[in-house]
Chains A and B, each alone.
Chain A
Amino acid sequence: MLDIRNLTKQYGGLTAVDHVSTVFERGAINAIIGPNGAGKTTFFNLVAGAAAPTSGEIRFEGKNIAGMAPDAIARAGIARTFQTTMLFEESTVLDNLIVGHRLRTGSRLWDVLLHTPRHKRDEAACRDKAAEMLDFVGLSAIGNHMIADTSQEQRKRIAFALALATEPKLVLLDEPAGGVNPGETDGLVALIHKMVEHDITVCLIEHKMDMIMSIADRIVVLDHGAKIADGSPGEVRNDPAVIEAYLGAEHAQA
């Protein structure tokens, strides 16, 4: 589904992502791990188009999307969430989600000002999608709550719903369980499995190792921008290079 070849991003003299090649299979949960500053978020930004790669290819369903604008990539079917959730504090949960489906609609200024049948149709579609996704993430009961009144875990779910409203084939989740307690993390893990069941490929960045090891089908390990390991949780766990990156060289030899 996503075929990455020699992806590189340099900021001046710093190489944030260094010749990374990997393949994300359709229907799998892929995880990217690595110490702080390993280039994980930069990697996401390259795939989502928020930053243009210095070199390399990103093939999404066979098409090279490297360097495309983020909105075009979103329309192509890649959605993302951010480490900090950004939502409209002073409006309701449901209201926040309606704009998520805007990219699948075509109403223009005249449709809006004249309130044409097209705009009515588009608006209904966006509302339906918002309600559907709210239900998907299990928050139908709080659709009328103000965002300011929701918990961190609920915000994570709302951010998922917003990303899913774009009808993605691949979602990039940046620390989906960040700032969420262990019990709630289990709930989010179940939700991620549910996404996969609905034919959405998942790629996530996470620091919670227990979660990663239990959820991921495949793990890519980055260190100083370069890929040092790539494989199943079992393979990665026992890889000397990974142990060295995380714990230091002495532990690897011991």
Chain B
Amino acid sequence: MSRLTHMFNHPATLVVLLGLAAVFPFVAANEYQVYVMALAFVWAIAVYGLNIITGYCGQLNLAHGGFFAIGAYAVAILTADHGWNFWPAFAVAGLAGAVFGLVVGAVSLRLKEHYFAIFTLCVGFIIYMLLDKWDALTHGPLGIISISPPDGFGFVDFTETRPFYYLVLFFLALAVFFTRRLSASLLGRTFRAIRISDDLAQSLGINLMRNKILAFVISTVYAALAGGLYAGVVRFIGPDLGNFMHTFDMIAYLLVGGIGTLMGPLLGTLLITWLTQAVQSLEEYRMIVFGPLLVLLVIFFPKGIAGSYQAWRARRASREMSADQRPSTGHDSGAGSTASTPGTTRAGPNSSSNATAAPAYAHTKTNESAGDSKGSGNA
């Protein structure tokens, strides 16, 4: 394996993280902490979805919370009003995410950049309005109570916190696993090519609409399944779930953790969730803490935690490699040394191709698969 391989993406690291997550319920101080962690995992799954369309494919989807709500309401309506069991309702939630994602995506992805973001903001608001006003289907502002929990297997009872925690952990692991596969694949590369530029991607023979819609539908399925799990654990939902605040929360998780990275969604979600818990006593004043923190983070770590770490690793590895190669090839002796000061990485040539002003998310063009060029020139 190449030295470029990032620690965060290394299978061993993932196994260690999974192990830590597995023992968490036994070291947690109380059941409440396990519950908070399970909910954080649910949101993290949705953020993984947002990462695919916004992080990898570069399309800022502001309706993401709406798709989360669609999944939650699908489970709620089918179990509470129609007497379904949780699992078939959960499957329908995923299907609903795909169908609505396909319809919304096919229309909204005709728009580019900011226009797409604004359009999806409106879609998110329409979803919220429907949840709030369509009494016959959604019970309006009253919300839906007595949602069925996931049916257990044998001795396992998912109405208890711990079993549910492990159930959510299972789906989270699945979400990370699929994201990892996707990111390292030709499809992930296709999505990232679209993020660089629509024109470039098309000139490489990439069908823009088909690939953007695919990324969008994958992301909405993640969101809807996460919403379905949310309904199963909280067992009460109201139209507020479709409030666009949830979308902005998820964007904050993604930015803090590292947009377009594999572990960013999880890191950001956990960090902010537990920070929120820590400053719970401040109540509404806690935004006084969060606001400046977020501003500082965006200024000094625009790639988020995972993104900044990966960029640092990739840079170091690339420098080591060029140092190794220099004596043997003698080619391009200047390039390695000009890059040796990490602080100056984005200077010079970079500005030419990033000339267009872009919102904060677009600046964080990282590429976790930078390390994928394994065995290609390891001197």
Contacts and interface: CB of A to CB of B under 8 A. Distances in A.
Interface of A: 48-50, 69-72, 74-75, 79-80, 82, 84-92, 94-95, 98-100, 102-103, 105, 107, 109, 112-113, 115, 119, 122-123, 126-127, 131, 140-146, 148-152, 154-155, 162-163, 166, 179
Given A86-B200, A102-B206, A92 B186 contact: no
Given A87-B353, A90-B311, 5 more contacts: A90-B314, A94-B377, A102-B193, A102-B205, A146-B314
Size bracket of the B interface: 35 or more
B349 interface: yes
A122 B185 CA distance: 10
24 contacts: A69-B202, A70-B202, A74-B202, A75-B205, A80-B203, A88-B365, A90-B314, A91-B314, A92-B318, A95-B367, A95-B372, A95-B373, A98-B189, A99-B192, A102-B189, A103-B206, A105-B186, A112-B185, A131-B376, A141-B332, A142-B331, A144-B321, A145-B322, A179-B352
A71 B345 CA distance: 33
A109 B218 CA distance: 10
Contact of B193 (A99, A141, A146): A99
5 closest Cβ pairs, A-B complex = A103-B205, A74-B205, A91-B370, A91-B367, A141-B331
Nearest to A93: B373
A147 B178 CA distance: 28
Contacts of B196: 86-88
Contacts of B199: 50, 70, 82, 86
A74 B203 contact: yes
B186 A102 contact: yes
Nearest to A152: B349
A53 to B, nearest CB: 17
Contacts of B139: none
Contacts of B202: 49-50, 69-71, 74
A162 B204 contact: yes
